[in-house]
Structure 1
Amino acid sequence: MLLMMKDRKVLETMTDGSLRVYDRKLLPFALQKDDLTYEDFIFNWLAVRPLSMGRTNAKEILNNSKIPQTPLTIAKISHAFNLTDCYWVREEEETVTWESDNLYDHPMDQEYADTALTGMPHSLNREKIHTPELTSQGVSAKCWIQEPDGIYLYKVGRKELPASEILQQLGISHVVYERAGLYQKYLSKERLKRIEQSGELIVKSKLITSKKMSIVSFEEFAVWCANQGKDEYEEARKTDPKRYYEMQIADYILNNSDRHVGNWGFYFKTDENALTGMHPLMDHDHAFDENETLVSQTWDGKTLLEAAVCAQKILNLPVNHVLCMEMPEFLKDQEWDAVKERARTLLNECE
């Protein structure tokens, strides 16, 4: 099997279980180590690339084409193409190429998008499967849709909209979400209506990667740090201190209970494999938690408040702007009251 980065060979598995590395500089971050093994590549990188079975509608996605629920099978069938970076895999004898099959340049299977977002099943029997839904991470119902001006992520997430408004007031770099208005004709309107009747909304955000700029999750970044003998949190602060500290303030003001290792991370220049800084904050569908004593998931040993106080003393963001703005649409009264109370607490703690 060949690991490719666009049309360049990076690594090959040999018949005796060894690896042949063609370009060490282009190895994925988790595989940048001196004692790289076959098991590292197959089980610690390739097998974690496909969608998780904990993702909403995961089984329905796989059932569309009768794909077994085993990570390596999914990775091989999809060639591990995704919209996070430009890595993919193929067997030596396969004729598939980056130019012919990458997800940035070619239409994606529409039926998979419908299933991924709404759970609507489709019976497909295709020799060639072309969809990012087999490798999209996370657990929420979501899908990728190509629109005239680019690729968008559609997801179920009422809280994304008010979170975006608040982060805009704070001047924090974030993925901007908007309410998805006119749904594409191939999305199940009946099931979409059912989602909104449950009190949720369909929102969308534009793809933040490209063929030139990829992202690596903090989870993989932490593996890279461990392989280099570095502390992952200290390295994160050193790599992009401003955005790292912004994240502490954002997560406290929003009371985000789900800043896990998979939904924050870093941009890197695709062709150079060089980190450039943190990518914009995203995934706030678990914001506005009712528990006001949350522990930080990105700063060891601190609560969200303690981490935010340290960050605010460094950045001095305009937290008072939150107190002056009108209550964002789609936010409940008690959620908004709690946001303002946290803003006041942060300002008082930093006096």
Structure 2
Amino acid sequence: MLLMMKDRKVLETMPDGSLKIYNKQLVPFALQKEDLTYEDFIFNWLAVRPLSMGRTNAKNILNNANIPQTPLTIARTSHALNLTDCYWVREENEAITWESNNFYDHPMDEEYADTALTGTPHAINKERIHTPELTAQGVSAKCWIQEADGIYLYKVGKRELPASKILQQLGISHILYEKAELYQNYLSKERLEEIEQSGEIIVKSKLITSKKVSIVSFEEFAVWCANQEKDEFEEARSLDPERYYEMQIADYILNNSDRHVGNWGFYFVTDENRITGLYPLMDHDHAFDENENLMSQTWEGKTLLEAAACAQAVLKLPLKSVFKMERPECLSNREWKAVKTRVQTLLEKSSR
């Protein structure tokens, strides 16, 4: 099996269980270590590329494709292609190229998008499976849809809307979420009605990667740091202090209980494997938690408030601008009051 970066060979598994490295610079971050083994590549990298079985509608997605629920089979069938980076795999004798198979240049199977977001099963009889849903990470219901001006992530998550408004007011780098409008063209009507009746909203955000710019999760970055004997949080802070501090402030003000190793990370130049900085904040559908004493998941040993106070002392963001806002859509009066209380608390704590 060959690991490719676009149409460049990166490494190959050999019959004797060893690895042949073709391009050391392009080896994925989690595999950049001394004495890299076949097991490292297969079980610690390739087997974690596919969707998790804990993802909403995962089993229906695989049933559509007639693929068993085994990670390596999913990875081989999908060629481990995704919309996060430009790595993929193929067998030595396969007549397939990056240009003929990547998701940026070719239409994606829309039936899989419907199943991924709504759970609606489809009988799909296609020789070639071409969908990023087989490798999309996370556990919530979501799907990728190709619109006229690019690729969008659709998800159920009305809290993304007020979170996006508040971060925009503060000037914090984040991915813009807006109400999705064209989903009726792609998704099952009955399931959409169920979502709407539950009080939820389908939102969308534009893809932040391209053939030139990829992203690596903090989870994989932390593996790289461990292999280099570096502290992952110190390294993240040193690589992009401004955005790292912005994340501390954002998570406290939004009272975000779901910042985890899979929903923040770094941009890197695809063809150079060179990190350029943290990508914009995203994934706030678990914001506005009622528990006001949350621990930071990105600054060890600190609460969200303590981490935010340290960050605000450095950045001095215009926190008072939040008081000028009208209550954002999809946020209750109680939740909005709690946001403003946290802003006031942060102002007081960071000024001491």
Distance 1:163 1:245 in 2: 17
TM-superposition CA deviations, 1:295-336 (whole Å, max 9, x none)? 000000000000000000000001111111110001111111
SS at match of 1:4: strand
TM-score (norm 1): 0.99
- Number of residue equivalences: 351
Deviation, 1:184, is 4.7
SS at match of 2:185: coil
What is the match of residue 222 of structure 2?
A: 222
Deviation, 1:272, is 0.4
What is the match of residue 330 of structure 1?
A: 330
Paired residue type of 2:17: G
Q: How does 1:2-41 map to 2 (within 5 A)?
A: 2-41=2-41
Deviation, 1:182, is 2.7
Structure 2 residue 259 is the aligned partner of structure 1 residue 264: no
TM-superposition CA deviations, 1:267-305 (whole Å, max 9, x none)? 000000000000000000010000000000000000000
Deviation, 1:154, is 0.3
What is the match of residue 290 of structure 1?
A: 290
Aligned CA RMSD, in angstroms, stands at 0.7
Distance 1:193 1:311 in 2: 43
Moved more, 36-45 or 176-185: 176-185
Deviation, 1:192, is 1.1
SS at match of 2:108: coil
Deviation, 1:16, is 0.4
Q: How does 1:1-351 map to 2 (within 5 A)?
A: 1-351=1-351
Distance 2:107 2:184 in 1: 14
Paired residue type of 1:55: R
SS at match of 1:117: helix
Moved more, 317-326 or 278-287: 317-326
Runs (5+) with no aligned partner, structure 1: none
Paired residue type of 1:77: T
Distance 1:273 1:43 in 2: 22
Deviation, 1:186, is 2.7
Distance 1:350 1:93 in 2: 61
* Runs of 4+ off more than 6 Å: none
SS at match of 2:209: coil
Paired residue type of 1:58: A
TM-score (norm 2): 0.99
TM-superposition CA deviations, 1:214-240 (whole Å, max 9, x none)? 000000000000111100000000000
Paired residue type of 2:61: I
Runs (5+) with no aligned partner, structure 2: none
SS at match of 2:76: helix
Distance 1:16 1:182 in 2: 51
Distance 1:140 1:176 in 2: 18
Paired residue type of 1:216: V
Distance 2:29 2:242 in 1: 23
Distance 2:321 2:61 in 1: 43
Paired residue type of 2:18: S
TM-superposition CA deviations, 1:243-263 (whole Å, max 9, x none)? 000000000000000100000
- Among the aligned pairs, what percent are the same residue? 79
Distance 1:182 1:37 in 2: 46
Paired residue type of 1:323: F
Deviation, 1:338, is 0.6
SS at match of 2:11: strand
Paired residue type of 1:76: R
